[in-house]
């Protein structure tokens, strides 16, 4: 089964790091392909970045429809997730949602660690959107820029370790979610040190995608995610390809 992982940002190094982290993990039969969007921000640190990323992600899915059996949006705010589900029959997995559905199967309550304080209300919104506000013991942040985090991963690990300990001891977290694709690869080490399951959201998403593909399930097309009809889009960066694979099936 072919799973395409779309990095939310245009930083190819982050794409590589994600690839490295998940390739050891996925099933032998799974063929991973990594996509770094052509347009968009170099990192996702706020709502503006997410809006541009959503656009980029949907465009990449439209361009790569034939090349994958499932798509993963590898950015913790799941930018463009619902639009992506609209434009393709293939399942589209958001890493934030994937991490949360995994977390609630391993403990009563999870906490999210995130690199930026400003993302707290954004993440609280996402937790609520997916229905997990009663399972979320809190969001702990470390004041580091995302791009900085990408560069000095080893050093800043300590900061997240501290945040994780506080989540467990003060907030009652039983599971910890690393809230950023950029933190990929730290999960095992932090888990050993904290003594609780620590989730890499991209890995969780690969697991969800494999499971859904294995069952031959595809996105429902009867209501909210029906294919959009064709229409004029003015002056878009490159014309949006409005031909949907298998849309005649719906």
Q: Show contacts with a copy of itself in window 69-128 (CB under 8 A).
A: 80, 82-83, 85-87, 91, 93, 97-98, 101-102, 104-109, 117-122, 124-125, 128
Span interacting with a copy of itself, options 49-57, 150-158, 177-185, rule CB under 8 A: 49-57
Do residues 174 and 106 touch, judged by C-beta distance below 8 A?
yes
CA distances from 53 to 91, 111, 234, 250 (A): 19, 25, 19, 28
Residue 228 within binding range of a copy of itself, rule CB under 8 A: yes
CB of 26 to a copy of itself, least distance (A): 7
CB of 159 to a copy of itself, least distance (A): 19
- State which residue, 49 or 69, has the beta carbon closest to a copy of itself: 49
CB-based contact 242:58 (threshold 8 Å) = no
- Choices 151-159, 178-186, 202-210; region in contact with a copy of itself by CB under 8 A: 202-210
> Binding to a copy of itself by residue 164, rule CB under 8 A?
no
Residue from 217, 239, 241, 246 that binds a copy of itself (CB under 8 A)? 217
Compute the least distance from the CB of residue 158 to a copy of itself, in Å: 20
Q: How far is the CB of 126 from a copy of itself (least distance, A)?
A: 11
Task: Check residue 140 for interaction with a copy of itself (CB under 8 A).
Answer: no
Choose between 111 and 156: whose C-beta lies nearer to a copy of itself. 111
- Candidates 151-159, 178-186, 216-224: pick the segment binding a copy of itself (CB under 8 A): 216-224
Residue from 29, 143, 154, 243 in contact with a copy of itself (CB under 8 A): 29
**For the packed helices 187-194 and 153-169, what is the interaxial angle rounded to 10 degrees?**
40
Stretch that binds a copy of itself, among 149-157, 158-166, 177-185, 230-238 (CB under 8 A): 230-238
Give CA separation, 83 vs 17, 54, 118, 176, in Å.
26, 8, 25, 28
Sheet strand arrangement including 198-199: 136-141, 110-114, 175-178, 198-199
- C-alpha–C-alpha distance, residues 60 and 58, integer Å: 5
Give dist(CA 180, CA 220) in Å, integer.
28
Residue 217 phi/psi, 5° resolution?
Answer: -90, 145
Determine the Cα–Cα distance for residues 32 and 28; give it in Å rounded to an integer: 10
Residue that has been written with the tokens 């052509």 in this structure: 38
User: Which two three-digit tokens encode residue 71?
Assistant: 């798509």
Task: Count the residues of the shown chain that bind a copy of itself, applying the rule CB under 8 A.
Answer: 102
91-119 burial, b at 16+ Cβ within 10 Å, e below that, comes to: bbbbbbbbbbbbbbeebebbbbbbbbeeb
Q: By CB under 8 A, what part of segment 169-188 binds a copy of itself?
A: 172, 174-175, 188
Residue 169 beta carbon to a copy of itself: minimum distance, rounded to whole angstroms: 9
């Amino acid at each position: 089964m072919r799973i395409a992982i779309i990095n939310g940002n245009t930083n190819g190094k982050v794409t590589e790091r994600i690839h490295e982290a998940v390739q050891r993990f996925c099933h032998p039969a799974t063929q991973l392909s990594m996509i770094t969007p052509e347009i968009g921000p170099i990192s996702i640190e706020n709502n503006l970045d997410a809006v541009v990323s959503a656009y980029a992600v949907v465009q990449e899915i439209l361009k790569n429809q034939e090349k994958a059996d499932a798509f993963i949006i590898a950015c913790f705010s799941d930018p463009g997730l619902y639009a992506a589900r609209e434009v393709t029959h293939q399942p589209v997995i958001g890493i934030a949602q994937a991490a949360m559905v995994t977390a609630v199967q391993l403990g009563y309550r999870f906490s999210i660690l995130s690199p930026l304080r400003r993302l707290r209300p954004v993440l609280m919104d996402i937790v609520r959107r997916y229905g997990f506000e009663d399972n979320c013991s809190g969001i702990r942040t470390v004041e580091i820029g995302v791009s900085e985090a990408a560069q000095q991963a080893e050093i800043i690990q300590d900061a997240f370790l501290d945040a994780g300990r506080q989540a467990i001891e003060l907030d009652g977290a039983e599971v910890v979610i690393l809230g950023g694709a950029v933190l990929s690869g730290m999960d095992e080490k932090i888990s050993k040190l904290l003594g609780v399951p620590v989730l890499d959201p991209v890995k969780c998403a690969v697991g969800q995608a494999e499971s859904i593909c294995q069952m031959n399930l595809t996105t429902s097309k009867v209501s909210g995610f029906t294919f959009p009809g064709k229409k004029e889009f003015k002056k878009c960066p490159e014309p949006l390809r409005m031909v949907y694979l298998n849309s005649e099936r719906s």
